A and B are shown apart, each in its own frame.
Chain A
Amino acid sequence: MQGQPALRGGYFWAREAGGRVVRQSFFPVLTVVGLLLVIWYAAAVWLNADWTYDKATRSGEVVTTTSLIQDTWAQKKPKLPAPHQVAAEIWSTTVGKNITSKRSLIYHSWVTLSATLLGFGLGTVLGTLLAVGIVFNRTMDMSVMPWVIASQTIPILAIAPMIIVVLNAVGISGLLPKAMISMYLSFFPVVVGMVKGLRSPDQMQLDQMRTWHASAAQTFWRLRLPASMPYFFTSLKIAMAASLVGAIVGELPTGAVAGLGARLLAGSYYGQTIQIWSALIMAAALAALLVGIIGLIQRATLKRMGMAQ
């Protein structure tokens, strides 16, 4: 009864604030981060070495180990920028710039974030409504579910430009087309999770409702919906990450001038790898933040409901 698998797991900072778990997982996490940094720095030397040797050959300099490392970690357009280069770029484009500036990463993050949140909201509403329909209506179960699954087999990169072009043709541009692509990706995990969640009450619980002669609406509000909450939050986490991907993908084919996707695209046009990587890291941090917030809401809600001990 208690402790559905969906309630377990979660994020280390959300589990027991200041508790044993945080301390226990702090060092493992730190170790992994450290290891990744070591690999990253080594890879930077390895991938950027060609350019260093080319340069040295042309100027007739001799490359020593020290100069190799110094150069590969400090090139202007490296194949793989070193972590500190990315960190410096992020610092200068966030703290170092006015947030209204077109060069501010905060400004671009906000553009992407607003599309993400709108798409996430739309996707959550659409997904929940579809799930309710599928659970309560056999015809919808048979007819809608295959389409829901088929929708996700179409590569989003293929359909994104069409959504933008079609919506542009009917006079909709700006935030909404990107949000639509976000919604397209994010409604799916919500449908799947909520269908499972709304169907999670077992036969005995449904029989019990029957013995009380409860209406379908009463069964929904008092049994199915509360029982689906752990599934709902798990779906929301996936949907949030998918929304962000959707918003970034939505910025790629349009030649958008703002947003993390636009930064990625501009960076790739001009070989600005440091800019690409800083936009990527920013997107990852944004995703972690958003998913972490949902984790906190999940924890608070389930605790209030008495479903997390």
Chain B
Amino acid sequence: MTSAPVISAKSLSLTFETNDGPVHALKDVSLDIEKGDFVSFIGPSGCGKTTFLRCMADLEQPTGGSMTVNGVSAADARMARAYGYVFQAAGLYPWRTIGGNIRLPLEIMGYSKADQAARVARVLELVELSGFENKFPWQLSGGMQQRASIARALAFDADILLMDEPFGALDEIVRDHLNEQLLRLWARTEKTIAFVTHSIPEAVYLSTKIVVMSPRPGRITDVIESTLPKERPLEIRETPEFLEIAHRVREGLRAGHADD
């Protein structure tokens, strides 16, 4: 692939001014994400992985450097609805059904009624929640709610999916299941995914590219290209290849910590 990167950050910095002096949430971060990549950001808290994701989404404004999304600024990309964002909490509206929640961004973006219905049905099928359209969020388990929130982010066909620790609050069994589903979904939709996590197995299992970050100041310490095949059964996590990548991620995280 020779096309321009979908997301490109060049020596991006973000400094928060606090009462205790400036905090360097991000310092000199440069990274290109290609079309169809599944990129995980991993690192201890305070390493700026979420901040970096929020910069891509134009939810934070960098104080230095430049960032393009789909070739335009992050702000223009947001206004063009270039990405779907999945937060740590599902954040479904309790007064709307699952279908109603997924319809919400479509209503805001002005899709026709018929189109809305078709899209809701399609993304519900994609996250394997068909039949739950008329249920209220409280009638669903935490894992199902998070799947509904992924469906909501997919509904308006953005090419980019930004996910901020979407499975962080779920237990490991549910998480395994959702990881498998997410890989299937990624294969079917060919989206570009940026995924924040602090689980090493999750990062290695899902990604084509793993970005290891470290704090004070928030920066990238290693970028690991995964050698795993695109087809990944859960058992792949027992293979030597998998363990070697996991080992390298762990080394990267340790290196980032060596100076404190």
Chain A interface (Cβ within 8 Å of chain B)? 1-2, 204-205, 207-214, 218, 222-223, 226-227, 229, 305-307, 309
CA distance A227 to B84 in the complex (A): 23
Extra contacts besides A213-B78, A214-B108 (20): CB < 8 Å: A1-B94, A1-B137, A1-B138, A2-B94, A204-B88, A204-B91, A205-B91, A208-B85, A208-B87, A209-B108, A210-B58, A211-B59, A212-B108, A213-B79, A218-B108, A222-B108, A226-B95, A227-B93, A306-B94, A306-B95
* Bound form: Cα–Cα A205–B85 in Å: 12
Question: Quick check: is B136 within 8 A (CB to CB) of the other chain?
Answer: yes
Report how far A306 CA is from B140 CA in the complex, Å. Answer: 13
| Most chain A Cβ neighbours within 10 Å, of B78, B84, B94, B109 | B94
Q: How many A-B residue pairs have CB under 8 A?
A: 61
Q: How far is A27 from B29 in the complex, measured between Cα atoms in Å?
A: 68
Contact residues in A for B85 (Cβ distance below 8 Å): 207-208, 211
Do A223 and B93 touch across chains, with their CB atoms under 8 A apart? yes
Nearest A residue to B96 via CB reads A306
Is B224 interfacial (CB 8 A cutoff)?
no
Expressed in whole angstroms, the Cα–Cα distance for A2 and B57 within the complex equals 28
Query: Is the CB of B97 closer than 8 A to any CB of chain A?
Result: yes
Which of B88, B89, B96, B108 has the most chain A CB atoms closer than 10 A to its own CB?
A: B108
Please report the C-alpha to C-alpha distance between residue A203 and residue B59 in the assembled complex, in whole angstroms: 11
- Verify A210–B78 contact, CB threshold 8 A: yes
Is B36 engaged at the interface, CB distance under 8 Å to the other chain? no
The docked-state distance in angstroms from the alpha carbon of A306 to that of B91 is: 15
Whether the Cβ atoms of A213 and B95 lie closer than 8 Å is no
Smallest distance from the beta carbon of B106 to chain A beta carbons, Å? 9
A207 touches B138 (CB 8 A): no
Instruction: State the interface size on chain B (CB cutoff 8 A).
Output: 28
A213 CA to B104 CA, complexed, in Å: 12
A115 CB, min distance to chain B CBs, angstroms:
34
CB-defined contacts of A307 to chain B, threshold 8 Å: 94-95
- In the docked arrangement, what's the CA distance between A2 and B140, Å? 12
Q: Which residues of the other chain, A, contact B104 by a CB distance below 8 angstroms?
A: 212, 222
Q: In the assembled complex, how far is the CB of residue B152 from the closest CB belonging to chain A, in whole angstroms?
A: 9
Write out the residue numbers on chain B whose beta carbons fall within 8 Å of the beta carbon of A209: 108
Nearest chain-B residue to A208 (Cβ)? B91
A1 to B97, CA, bound (A): 14
Alpha-carbon distance between A211 and B107 when the two chains are bound, in angstroms: 14
A229–B59 CA distance with the chains assembled, in angstroms: 28
Within 8 A of A (CB), among B74-113: 78-79, 81, 83-85, 87-89, 91-97, 104-105, 107-109
Closest Cβ neighbor of A210 among chain B residues: B59
Smallest CB–CB gap between B36 and chain A, Å? 21
Question: Judging by beta carbons under 8 Å apart, are B87 and A207 in contact?
Answer: yes
Nearest chain A CB to B83 CB, angstrom units? 7
Interface contact B138-A2, CB-CB below 8 Å: yes
Distance in angstroms between the alpha carbons of A218 and B93 in the assembled complex: 14
Q: Which residues of chain B are within 8 angstroms of A222 by Cβ–Cβ distance?
A: 104, 107-108
In the bound complex, CA of A209 to CA of B93 (Å) = 12
* B-chain residues with CB within 8 Å of residue A213 when the two chains form the complex: 78-79, 81, 108-109
A309 CA to B135 CA, complexed, in Å: 12
Check B83 against A204 for contact (C-beta < 8 Å): no
- A223 / chain B contacts, CB cutoff of 8 Å: 93
* CB-CB under 8 A for A204 and B87, given A210-B78, A212-B81: yes
Cβ–Cβ < 8 Å partners of B88 in chain A: 204
B111 to chain A, nearest CB (A): 12
- Please tell me if the beta carbons of A211 and B83 are within 8 angstroms of each other in the complex: yes
Complex Cα–Cα for A15 and B109 (A):
39
Within 8 A of A (CB), among B173-208: none
Minimum C-beta distance from B178 to chain A (A): 19
Contacts of A229 on B, CB cut-off 8 Å? Answer: 95
Report Cα–Cα, A211/B87, bound state, in Å.
11
In the bound complex, residues from chain A placing their C-beta under 8 Å from that of B138 are 1-2, 306, 309
The answer to whether A204 touches B89 (Cβ under 8 A) is yes
Q: How far is the CB of A55 from chain B (nearest CB, A)?
A: 66
- Most interface-central of A1, A210, A226, A307 (chain B CB within 10 A): A1
